[in-house]
Structure 1
Amino acid sequence: MSLPDPPLLTLAELAALPADDTVVVTVNNRLARRLSGELARHAPAGVAAQARVLPLSAWLEALLESALFLPDAPPLPARRLDSFGARLLWADTIRAAETARPLLDERRLAALAEEADALADEWRIGLDAPDAGEETQRFALWRQRYRRQLAKLDADDATGRAEQVLALLTAGGLALPSQLIWAGFRDLSPRQAALWHALAGQGVAQARLADPPVAAAPQRFTALDPQAEWRAAAAWAAEQLTADPQGRYAILAPQLEGVAPFARRVLLQTLGETVPFNVSVARPLCDWPLAHAALGWLSVLTLRTDYRPAQLGAALLAGHCAGDLAEAGERARLDAQWRRRGVLVLSTADWLRELFACPRLSNAWPAAQAALSGRAARCDTWAQRFAAALTALGFPGDRPLDSAAYQVLDAFSALLARFAGLAAPAGTLDAAGAVQLLVRLAQDTPFQPERDPGSRLDVLGLLEAEGERWDGIWLLGLTDEALPAPARPNPLLPLSGLKRAGAPRATPERELDYARALFAALLQCAPQVIVSHAERDGERELRASPLIAALAATEWHPRPAPAVVPLPLDALDDEAGPPLGERDQVAGGTQILEAQAKNPLWAFARYRLGATALPRHAEQVAPPVRGRFLHGVLEQVWRMLGDQAALLAARADGSLPTLIATAVAEAARQTLGELPAAVRELEIARAGQVAADWLALEAARLPFAVTALEAPHSWRRGPLTLKLRLDRLDTLPGGGAVIVDYKTGNVLDTAGWGRARPTNLQLPLYAAVLGEGVQGLLLARLNAREVAAKGLAAEALGLPGVLLPDALGAGNPLAGLAWDGILARWRSSIETLADEFAAGHAVNVSQGAGDLEFCDVLPFLRITLDREESEA
């Protein structure tokens, strides 16, 4: 609906109006800020006062506030719900109404209902249209119940407040300005039109602010892909900023949020660090470090029983607490220690004992936790408790805060105030529920620091740019998928009503009209305009928006890179570190040669430089913990049995289950002490079954005796000494030895034994250490899904999966070699790997595709960077 024949005012004419009796209402905050600045510049000399400029919604709120002082005005609701609070109430209403129906996404449905409610009131859409389906009927029911809930809480929402202002205007009595100027409104909704007429009925003179036309002749630029389009826009901006040192320019993009990191990177590469620019993309408040830290501490402070190391670690690393800087190293050490130990949970006593490592934080902890004690309460009480707890904890810490951090701190304080306002719709909450709701509110609250005043280049979305002024703009990404945007009618409202009202996003025709108006408004933002689109996005072909398809091509093109005469260079392949000296200490066993075989740079970075990635926090029993436990179980079993004959006898007389239970209990006492009781019992039951299954398999073997368990060995090659530990050594009746290695993973892999640079070489290395007496290598899989054996032996062991040399297939590199030849080949390969490592050989080369699957120094190998560069 268009404005009812409004007169047009220029900015100069607006500045000449009486400032104390004139109000300018705008479509958004950005336009209000710009007009305020321009009015100040147009003000006559010596005149300091100027008309009030504020968004329409803010002016309506101010009118409603003023109604509180009217003697005969009807009483207004005591509470005001913001959008988040309204969605909470909608969710409760829908949940109560749909108890018999499963709801897949309650929050999404509440957001749709809130939007439908606002559209129905703003655009006067009835719910009784002939095409109203079941969704609309259910929404009508929810809406009735929602209104009753609002009345019960003595609350209103944004939609209700707008209707209250309209009713008060119609009734008269509000203090109104003599002049009201509308700025930035291309058309009016039915409710805004009703507001216009109500104001006119009260004698308010109204006009529309007419921006001076900008003679923009847009030109079109076509790029190969979106990445090339951004690079072209950045190059254009760099040229303009250089040619016009006082000018202000902008790059405008639809859906900027998804490409903001790439845009920043391209602009930094093109402009360098010396040219400030502003990328106008807000992130959720919870993503900003200071707010993230506050929410993390509140989450752990409200725990009263077991603590999750991942949750504690996140708070410890976030800091902004007592001992923020002085104890940062100890906090990081605690987190790393829990990761390496595979700790699942920490009791309160364990946590407080560990916290002694950070004295200042330890001293602050009791007071901070006490501030959150108490019964379940409403949000206003919890907001006070949260503030007190953070203060007691030393938040925001003693590190200096920059401007952005101060703004985040202010935003977090405002967040607590908004949280307090949720007391009515949220009801009574316990501590954990209150923190969860605060986190949700922080996720729903966008935040962006104030714009750098020295920035001459703005990067922002299309809607945010409307009404602004620059010396030149580049509009990119204008494909037919972006402008016009696809129609997305609200599914809870009848389509006929949406279409009849011309509501936003209702129909393709409505979106095309809106896109045309938006594009026309954007062309008024600068005298120089370039529009662009990409031809392809990967394999997908793109088309230009119909709004720009007929525009003339621009004569501007990115300048070719200047020809540079390369300087003579000396190439140096630095693929070798310093050789290992006799006094150099290298900690490790077979893992050293395993890494050397898969990627020599991995071995050098991990075992010479000591670099390693921190493991993730354990979410289940860590594989090393389970491995040590099962190793311990079978060690105890075989210490009691000694040989296969004793195993067969225990099976025969029924004593084997008792023996296994004794072994499991002792191994659990030694290795499972940090696990929760319930998890420990599950692991004990699992281990007992796995041990029984494996011993049943061993009972079918040919005779053997166990002669060594967890026996330490060392192997020396030049300056390199490896510390080894054999899980088990069996002796056969003929005197030969079989090395047994327990594996608790899902697969047994011997494929790497035949490679020129052998992998999975733990058993081949043990064979090289023990020498000629070794007659077999046996991998034992100890897994609840399956127990199995795999290996290679000079003579039959009576176990499926353990092959003889002459049974190796033709594709196996070891095929055709006798047992002694296989041992000799392994020994030679292992010695070569050891010599490479000792010599400092650190070339960044991998043989197999899966060799780096478990690499813990990937950043050193630059695998990800190489992949990104090859894709680019």
Structure 2
Amino acid sequence: MQPDITAWDLLGISRDGLADLPPACTLVLTVNNRHARRLVTEWVRHLNAEKRVAELPRIVPLSAWLEETAHALTFLPQHEVPAYRLSSFAAQALWTDVIRRAEADQPLLDATQAARLAMDADTLADEWAVRVPEGMATDEYRSFLRWRAAYRARLGELDAEDANQGYAGVLQALEQRALPAPGHVVMAGFATPSPRLRRLALAFAEGGAQVLRLDEEENAQAVPRRCQPADRGAEWRQAAAWAARQLSASPEGRYAIVSPKLEEDAPLARRVLARALADGDEGASRPFNVAVAPPLVEWPAVRAALAWLSALADMTQYGACETRVLGAALLAGHCAGAGIEQGARAALDVRWRRRGIVRLNAHDWEAELIDLQATRLQRAWRDAVAAWQDGPRRVGADLWARRLRAALAALGFPGPSPLDSTGFQVLAELGESLDRYAALSPATGRLDGAAAVQLLARLARNSPFQPQRDPNARLDVLGLLEAEGGRWDGVWVLGLTDDVLPAAPRPNPLLPLPALRQAQAPRATPERERQWAEDMYATLLRAAPDIVVSCAQREGERDLRPSPLIAGLPDDIDLLVQDAQAQALPVETFQDARGPALAQGAQTTGGLDVLDTQARNPLWAFARHRLGARAMQPYAEPGAMNVRGQFLHEALEILWDDLRDQDGLHAAMAGGTLAASIDAAVTRAAHQLIGYGEALRALECARARVVLANWLAIEAQRLPFAVAQIEQAYDWQRGPLSLSLRLDRMDTLPDGSRVILDYKTGGAPGRPLADWARARPVNLQLPFYAAVIARQEGADVAGLLLAQIHARQVAVQGMADTDLGLEGVAAPSDAEAFGGLDWQGVLAHWRAAIETLADEFAQGVADNVAWRTDDLTYCDAQPFLRLDLELDEDGGDD
């Protein structure tokens, strides 16, 4: 007589009893793949210990058995099944498309996130028999019902099913006796069975199977020891030190560190454990396994493949490709000539960044490869293009899978370097991903090249991958779920805060909460989470005879509280060994604040940035201009400020070449020709707008016409002037230091004195008078011209103007020794920052400060001092300075 399966009152069976069942007609279904592997491993170990050979029954996870059985239904003539089985990724893509179509009038809806919730709600409703009467329905639930109806209609059109419907089909086949039941079915690890799992067990029983529950030998619950390290870093170091001590005392033992936030902690865990488990003077670390599977896209070979495929797709489909895409491919390597040509490829990428090149067409890209002398890559690229274009432009994912493989092979992927074990596994997983990609064809339809690569990238982002476990490792680092049911000699469970065990409920918002509560669905209520936490904690206490639990006292500035499950335990201070990182070590300090001086006779060149960085932080100047150390510049973008600035600078140069002076400006305004002059200048300068599309170029030119007209209206109100120089280059030398400079513009006043202008086409120029009045002045362009260049040429400078030429504001700031008829220009006597100095005194101050800065740089002065925190806002050599670390420790700004 069968037990009451609806109440999950199954007969228990031990492992020895399971061994007595006939293996050919016995099916063991486990809660997950990890549980199945553990059962097989323990069974084999038991047989080896008894020195006997026996046939194993079939032990598989429930999900794998459902998938296999759904495929087997296709061979039953009396049972109709859909032609396609959608993977989880394909099902989510279909849900996303359905929701986008259904909610086309709500552009702010995140269709991808809505699809994830809808998939979960669809499975949850079926798995836990969630019933929603009309009076309980919410607007979100009604939207879900519309989406689910549309989704299932699309499945019908495609003649496809997903995993949830596949489960329903298998269950129906069992209940209708279309699928024979095995003689014995053993359920393993299902602590809280869902209503659908109960139905499955009942269908097995009614089909003639004996349904049993595997009763594994459980350890007695250990009495845990508790400690509370200072912070998360100290907690990991304490756990790592504990593991090192255990492995030293018992090298053949098996130990585990369990973290509820392992994905977040994985980088810290690997670093701390590698240091704690270092073996001997050679620094080699004992092996350990961290059970975190990052997305496949994060592995370098896969990133390289996607980068090259993206470049191929853009270049063949659009005839051009952005340099950020080509640069990512060049730097990723993993192609023909990757080792020999890699240095030159990196240099090419740097050149694109520094020159602000946004995109390259196919001809220019070929020319760059020729200049690079990258003959291997050039040949491989041409072969890859030929493979890419072999066939129609739009095809299904199945044909794209073949084409993508052919293109990668033509490129020489994965490159000439030998692969290690992990590399082989990554490539094998990429190959399997392309097989899964080909199976997406029914759900995705016909794709062009760009869409095909984007689909593969999304698949790689949604495909976790972890290399095979090191069989020699005696330490496992796992998450809570991975640790469930495991057995070790000792376990340290860290991070047990009151917001982790139990965690806050996370009910699916598409299903009404009362319905979820009534169905006792997981993650829905505090009571359900509390029950799960207590069950998980009890399971962990049976995982080993020696259990340590811990909770850090704080995380950053936030105080942490222990989980109520461990709050009553006393602290075991013997667990807290002295934190190696906190130990005070003797330190010998050597202040090295001066580099070698510039060699006499060997000219060192640069721009005015040499003196500006010397004024802000001498070590920055030394690192940037003597060592050539600077952060890599970002790729240029259409609409970038430097491109826009070059465009406006050239337009202004063209205009004043034509107008020449204020009289010419007034004549153009009076004659009505100024607008035509502005339009002509903008049209001629528009070639600077590299990478702009037609629409964006038109908008930028229209904006420039308005900005230039507003600026010229201000120029027309000045006292009379004539333009003497435009974009004039200068060279200045002091000792071994030689600087090359360019002056935006210099005007001549009626008395023969000069006014120097510097155009600022970005945001507001800040506080120029305060910057110029510092003992070590910064933003030196105008002071340098006034105090040094003008004196060198015997010119009399009467004023300095910073012209803000921007769509948000057109204005002037500056300082002058005479009235220029412009608002925003101060006299030296009006500027409190200069302490009452007259104009000549100001020029003398600048001259002395500039010469001091030049002499410092030439002498190798490299003090690591920043006089103001905002001086380093745009510093591109921060790793050399490390001042931000000191500021962070003090709680200051960086």
When the two structures are superposed, what TM-score results if normalisation uses the length of structure 1? 0.93
1:717 pairs, out of 734, 752, 760, with: 734
Partner SS for 2:604: coil
Partner SS for 2:140: helix
Larger mean Cα displacement after TM superposition, 24-33 or 600-609: 24-33
Distance 1:67 1:723 in 2: 79
| Residue 575 of structure 2 is aligned to residue 571 of structure 1 | no
Contact 1:290 1:396 in 2 (8 A): yes
Contact 1:3 1:187 in 2 (8 A): no
Letter in 2 for 1:726: L
| Residue 801 of structure 2 is aligned to residue 762 of structure 1 | no
2:624 pairs, out of 606, 624, 633, with: 606
Per the TM alignment, residue 509 of structure 1 is displaced from its structure 2 partner at its CA by 1.4
Distance 2:235 2:651 in 1: 63
| Residue 290 of structure 2 is aligned to residue 279 of structure 1 | yes
Could you say which residue in structure 2 is the equivalent of 1:34?
A: 38
Distance 1:55 1:564 in 2: 46
Could you say which residue in structure 1 is the equivalent of 2:860?
A: 840
Larger mean Cα displacement after TM superposition, 212-221 or 266-275: 266-275
1:261-300 → structure 2 map (5 Å cutoff): 261-272=267-278, 273-300=284-311
Per the TM alignment, residue 634 of structure 1 is displaced from its structure 2 partner at its CA by 2.9
Judged with a 3 Å threshold, the aligned counterparts in structure 2 of structure 1 residues 171 and 783 are, in CA distance, closer, same or farther, namely: closer
Could you say which residue in structure 1 is the equivalent of 2:347?
A: 333
Aligned residues: 867
Judged with a 3 Å threshold, the aligned counterparts in structure 2 of structure 1 residues 602 and 233 are, in CA distance, closer, same or farther, namely: same
Contact 2:638 2:690 in 1 (8 A): no
Could you say which residue in structure 2 is the equivalent of 1:516?
A: 534
Could you say which residue in structure 2 is the equivalent of 1:732?
A: 749
Distance 1:33 1:401 in 2: 28
Unmatched 5+ residue regions in structure 2?
279-283
Q: Deviations over 1:445-486 (max 9, x none)?
A: 111222222222221110011111111111112222111222
2:196 pairs, out of 177, 181, 191, with: 191
Per the TM alignment, residue 131 of structure 1 is displaced from its structure 2 partner at its CA by 1.8
Per the TM alignment, residue 171 of structure 1 is displaced from its structure 2 partner at its CA by 3.4
Letter in 1 for 2:663: A
Could you say which residue in structure 1 is the equivalent of 2:494?
A: 476
Contact 1:21 1:179 in 2 (8 A): yes
| Residue 378 of structure 2 is aligned to residue 362 of structure 1 | yes
1:563-712 → structure 2 map (5 Å cutoff): 571-668=589-686, 671-672=688-689, 676-712=693-729
Could you say which residue in structure 1 is the equivalent of 2:837?
A: 817
Per the TM alignment, residue 792 of structure 1 is displaced from its structure 2 partner at its CA by 1.6
Letter in 1 for 2:837: L
Per the TM alignment, residue 137 of structure 1 is displaced from its structure 2 partner at its CA by 3.3
Distance 1:562 1:147 in 2: 59
Contact 1:343 1:675 in 2 (8 A): no
Could you say which residue in structure 2 is the equivalent of 1:557?
A: 575
2:57 pairs, out of 33, 51, 55, with: 51
Larger mean Cα displacement after TM superposition, 754-763 or 292-301: 292-301
Contact 2:181 2:208 in 1 (8 A): no
Larger mean Cα displacement after TM superposition, 184-193 or 370-379: 370-379
Per the TM alignment, residue 601 of structure 1 is displaced from its structure 2 partner at its CA by 0.5
Could you say which residue in structure 1 is the equivalent of 2:236?
A: 230
CA RMSD of aligned residues (A): 2.7
Could you say which residue in structure 1 is the equivalent of 2:10?
A: 6
Q: Deviations over 1:573-594 (max 9, x none)?
A: 0110001112333221211110
Could you say which residue in structure 2 is the equivalent of 1:406?
A: 424
Q: Deviations over 1:626-675 (max 9, x none)?
A: 33333333333333343333333333334444444444444445x45665
Per the TM alignment, residue 60 of structure 1 is displaced from its structure 2 partner at its CA by 2.8
Larger mean Cα displacement after TM superposition, 2-11 or 795-804: 2-11
Could you say which residue in structure 1 is the equivalent of 2:29?
A: 25
Could you say which residue in structure 2 is the equivalent of 1:784?
A: 807
Partner SS for 1:756: coil
Could you say which residue in structure 2 is the equivalent of 1:795?
A: 818
Distance 1:173 1:630 in 2: 78
Could you say which residue in structure 2 is the equivalent of 1:746?
A: 763
1:412-451 → structure 2 map (5 Å cutoff): 412-451=430-469
Larger mean Cα displacement after TM superposition, 19-28 or 505-514: 19-28
1:387 pairs, out of 405, 417, 433, with: 405
Contact 1:489 1:506 in 2 (8 A): yes
Per the TM alignment, residue 260 of structure 1 is displaced from its structure 2 partner at its CA by 2.0
| Residue 76 of structure 2 is aligned to residue 60 of structure 1 | no
Distance 2:584 2:94 in 1: 68
Judged with a 3 Å threshold, the aligned counterparts in structure 2 of structure 1 residues 349 and 13 are, in CA distance, closer, same or farther, namely: same
Could you say which residue in structure 2 is the equivalent of 1:209?
A: 214
1:165-180 → structure 2 map (5 Å cutoff): 165-172=170-177, 174=179, 176-180=181-185
Distance 1:158 1:378 in 2: 22
Judged with a 3 Å threshold, the aligned counterparts in structure 2 of structure 1 residues 602 and 509 are, in CA distance, closer, same or farther, namely: same
Larger mean Cα displacement after TM superposition, 473-482 or 226-235: 226-235
Judged with a 3 Å threshold, the aligned counterparts in structure 2 of structure 1 residues 569 and 531 are, in CA distance, closer, same or farther, namely: closer
Letter in 2 for 1:730: D
Distance 1:729 1:821 in 2: 22
Larger mean Cα displacement after TM superposition, 469-478 or 699-708: 699-708
| Residue 366 of structure 2 is aligned to residue 352 of structure 1 | yes
Per the TM alignment, residue 55 of structure 1 is displaced from its structure 2 partner at its CA by 0.6
Percentage of identical aligned residues: 51
Contact 2:92 2:115 in 1 (8 A): yes
Could you say which residue in structure 1 is the equivalent of 2:281?
A: none
Could you say which residue in structure 1 is the equivalent of 2:515?
A: 497
Partner SS for 2:865: coil
Distance 2:748 2:196 in 1: 93
Distance 1:51 1:93 in 2: 43
Distance 2:693 2:146 in 1: 48
Judged with a 3 Å threshold, the aligned counterparts in structure 2 of structure 1 residues 173 and 566 are, in CA distance, closer, same or farther, namely: closer
Q: Deviations over 1:697-755 (max 9, x none)?
A: 22222223333333333222222222223222323222322222222222234121100
Contact 1:253 1:461 in 2 (8 A): yes
Could you say which residue in structure 1 is the equivalent of 2:332?
A: 318
Could you say which residue in structure 2 is the equivalent of 1:124?
A: 129
Larger mean Cα displacement after TM superposition, 338-347 or 263-272: 263-272
Q: Deviations over 1:373-403 (max 9, x none)?
A: 3232222222222222222222222222222
Q: Deviations over 1:574-631 (max 9, x none)?
A: 1100011123332212111101000001111111112222211122334333333333
Could you say which residue in structure 2 is the equivalent of 1:250?
A: 256
Larger mean Cα displacement after TM superposition, 542-551 or 35-44: 542-551
Distance 1:444 1:28 in 2: 19
Letter in 2 for 1:760: N
Letter in 1 for 2:736: P
Per the TM alignment, residue 231 of structure 1 is displaced from its structure 2 partner at its CA by 2.6
Contact 2:258 2:493 in 1 (8 A): yes
Letter in 2 for 1:650: A
Distance 2:57 2:244 in 1: 37
Could you say which residue in structure 1 is the equivalent of 2:266?
A: 260
Unmatched 5+ residue regions in structure 1?
none
Could you say which residue in structure 2 is the equivalent of 1:76?
A: 81
Q: Deviations over 1:94-138 (max 9, x none)?
A: 344445656612122222222122122222222336423333334
Judged with a 3 Å threshold, the aligned counterparts in structure 2 of structure 1 residues 507 and 685 are, in CA distance, closer, same or farther, namely: closer
Contact 2:229 2:576 in 1 (8 A): no
Q: Deviations over 1:467-514 (max 9, x none)?
A: 111111111122221112222222333434322332211222122212
Per the TM alignment, residue 367 of structure 1 is displaced from its structure 2 partner at its CA by 3.2
Contact 1:379 1:429 in 2 (8 A): yes
Contact 1:27 1:185 in 2 (8 A): yes
Contact 1:131 1:495 in 2 (8 A): no
When the two structures are superposed, what TM-score results if normalisation uses the length of structure 2? 0.91
